[in-house]
Structure 1
Amino acid sequence: MREATAPPRRRQSSSARLRRVGRRLRTEDGAAVAEFPMVAVLIIMIALLLIQAALIVHTRNTLVDAAIQGAHHAALVGSTPQDGAERAERLIEERFGDGLEAEATANQEADGTIHVRVSATLPLVGLFGPGGSLSVEGRALDEESI
């Protein structure tokens, strides 16, 4: 019986080895494993920034609405500018609760225009975190001055 022997291995030249290594480096095996976390982090950051921007715009629009409603209330016959400021603060408390520190002030100009100014601290990072200040104003013409 003849014993099978393996043919002798030929020694590869260094250029053949370099070509083989180059082919392995050019393949995309395992690229998805590295790409997914990098892309996922970017997508999550963009989504969180969009949510934060929507929260800030919603808060601003709600404060503007409360200031305008307060000014309209103060412009009614028999109301004072202070009544309008109290109404604006009540509306903000109804919509946001105690979480939003808001203060409303009102004054009446000589031409009969009532200004209600609302200053609030809104969160800059999610619902919690460091806060930034925001100030909005609502105006209405006093009915008694017409």
Structure 2
Amino acid sequence: MRIARPPQPDLSPPRAPEATAGRGPSLRARLRRDEGSAVVEFPMVAALIVLIALGVMQAALIVHTRNTLIDAAVQGAHHASLIGATPEDGAERAERLIGDRFGDSFQVEASAAESSEGTIRVEVRATLPLVGLFGPSGSLAVEGRAIDEETW
């Protein structure tokens, strides 16, 4: 006595439809292929990478500018706090330092004032530099303080 076995399912991967006689592969078969997709993917990914790189460069330039302005303001306040110097000397010193570091094309204003407690404050305002056509617009204000030596 022989036992009949059930039919085995076909586990082979599905095949692409065969080309019809002389006309080439069907539209469905052509759309499933990934040939030439790298040609389209590269410009999209490259544009995204360029935008990210410009954003990082913009952020780095703003942080560098901020740190340089803070240093110039502090140096100006220290200069103004010396015996025989006025707060205006500190503002001039800060503007000169920024001009030496960034050049004359960088728009900067420095002002200095002395408080009643003997603290000299130098405030520096400057425009933010841009990389490319995008980025923050506006100005950046920083200040440096020092204690006047004559009040000691």
So what's the TM-score if we normalise by structure 1?
0.79
- Cα pair 1:124 1:132 within 8 Å, conserved: no
Using the TM superposition, give the Cα deviation of residue 53 of structure 1 relative to its aligned residue in structure 2, in angstroms. Answer: 1.2
The residue type paired with residue 87 of structure 1 is: R
Q: Which runs of 5+ in 1 are unaligned?
A: 1-11, 13-18
So what's the TM-score if we normalise by structure 2?
0.76
- Who is 1:140 aligned against? 146
Aligned length: 128
Q: Does 1:25 align with 2:31?
A: yes
Aligned-CA RMSD value: 2.2
d(CA) in 2 for partners of 1:99 and 1:62? 16
The residue type paired with residue 61 of structure 1 is: N
The counterpart of 1:35, out of the listed 35, 41, 58, is: 41
Question: Which of the two has greater strand per residue?
Answer: 1
The counterpart of 1:67, out of the listed 73, 79, 86, is: 73
Question: Which of the two has greater helix per residue?
Answer: 1
d(CA) in 2 for partners of 1:107 and 1:141? 12
The sequence identity of aligned pairs, in percent, is: 66
- Who is 1:84 aligned against? 90
Residue 126 to residue 21, structure 1, CA distance change in 2 (3 Å): closer
- Cα pair 2:95 2:109 within 8 Å, conserved: yes
